[in-house]
Amino acid sequence: MAVYGGIEAGGTKFLCMVAGGPQDIRAETRFPTTEPDATLARAIGFFHAWRQAARQPLAALGIGSFGPLDLNPASPTYGHITSTPKPGWAHVDIAGKLRAALQIPVTLDTDVNAAAVAEYRWGASQGLDSSIYFTIGTGIGAGVIIDGQPMHGLLHPEMGHIRIPHDRQADPFPGVCPFHGDCFEGLASGNALRLRWGQPAEQLPPGHPAWELEAGYIALALVNQVCSLSPKRIILGGGVMQQADLLPLVRQKTLRLLNNYVQSPTITAGIETYIVSPLLGNRSGVLGAIALAQSILDC
């Protein structure tokens, strides 16, 4: 059976995996994201070492990366990271460098589209041809599956940066997005929680007012997407969602905001199966990269 390489290239860490699928993981490693050359060299070293030890080829490499990314195959800068504020990473040809070093087919998508693909192929949205995967982590992003394919559109969705109502009397915090201040990510990311409350999200106890506010912002974003794209399921991943009280609060507030307008038994009778946790846990992104690698050879 063919085995593939997968990389989840995150702003804080890289996860690399060799696998045939979630039941056939051959090797994995993770390391911090530092400057581009050193970080990519470490990933390349991991795959080289595996091929040498296993005496087996990798059929292809998939990458799920932080962005923004150029995903237009007709563009001269296809496969490049574009305007990221992350120091050193703007305009890095991430797909090209890995292809040149490993000499195998390489494909790239956003980290969140990759996670959405993995959950569709093997996880919480299996069998549903439309879904959204949100990560509520250090930042916020979302991947979208429409008609069984990751959605790109003009560039790719940037749902972390949608605008949501911000009542400055109830929440005077100005937001942390360097581009927009109080966009969704600016108000509700792990970074926003840390700066608004003066401690990291994992230290905010259950029952802290942070969680009511946080659930309210996430519910607003979800309602916007239910009304825009009508996904058949919404998956909420990322470190902040590890706060166990948060998911039930988000479900409750989303129902309240929808106010019985969107009439589907999937939502009204089954909110617990409509807004769910990822089934692949914190491996959604890197397994999505494996799924992307498989899909190059399928077409």
Instruction: Please report, as ranges, the residues that interact with ligand ADP according to CB under 6 A.
Output: 10, 12, 135, 137-139, 190, 200-202, 238-240, 242-243
Query: From CA 70, how far away is CA 67, in angstroms rounded?
Result: 8
Residue 200 binding result from Zn ion, ligand ADP, none, given CB thresholds of 5 to 8 Å by partner type: ligand ADP
Please spell the DSSP secondary structure of 45-77, one letter per residue. HHHHHHHHHHT-----EEEEE-S-B---TTSTT
Order of strands across the sheet with 24-32? Answer: 24-32, 13-21, 4-9, 61-65, 106-110
Q: Which residues contact 23 (CB under 8 A, 6 or more apart)?
A: none
For Zn ion, which residue of 163, 180, 194, 208 counts as binding (CB under 5 A)? 180
Least separation in angstroms between CB 160 and Zn ion:
7
Residue 201 binding result from ligand ADP, Zn ion, none, given CB thresholds of 5 to 8 Å by partner type: ligand ADP
b/e map of 168-185 (b: 16 or more CB within 10 Å)?
A: eeebebebbbeebebbbb
Q: Which is nearer to ligand ADP, 121 or 196 (CB)?
A: 196
Residue 157 binding result from Zn ion, ligand ADP, none, given CB thresholds of 5 to 8 Å by partner type: none
Q: Which is nearer to Zn ion, 177 or 235 (CB)?
A: 177
Least separation in angstroms between CB 258 and Zn ion:
25
Closest residue to ligand ADP: CB criterion:
190
Continuous H helices in the chain: 36-54, 94-102, 111-122, 184-188, 190-197, 209-229, 246-258, 265-268, 271-274, 284-298
Q: Does residue 163 belong to the site contacting Zn ion (CB under 5 A)?
A: no
Least separation in angstroms between CB 242 and ligand ADP:
4
Find the part of the chain contacting Zn ion (CB under 5 A) among 4-12, 124-132, 171-179, 212-220.
171-179
Q: Does residue 51 belong to the site contacting Zn ion (CB under 5 A)?
A: no
Residue 183 binding result from Zn ion, ligand ADP, none, given CB thresholds of 5 to 8 Å by partner type: Zn ion
Residue 152 binding result from Zn ion, ligand ADP, none, given CB thresholds of 5 to 8 Å by partner type: none
For Zn ion, which residue of 42, 86, 152, 161 counts as binding (CB under 5 A)? 161
Cα 243–chain centre separation? 18
Least separation in angstroms between CB 243 and ligand ADP:
4
Residue linked to tokens 């942390």: 176
Q: Does residue 183 belong to the site contacting Zn ion (CB under 5 A)?
A: yes
Alpha carbon distances (Å) from 76 to 73, 91, 155, 178: 8, 12, 14, 28
Alpha carbon distances (Å) from 13 to 32, 36, 153, 252, 296: 4, 12, 27, 33, 25
Residue 9 binding result from Zn ion, ligand ADP, none, given CB thresholds of 5 to 8 Å by partner type: none
- Which residues bind to Zn ion, rule: CB under 5 A? 161, 177, 179-180, 183
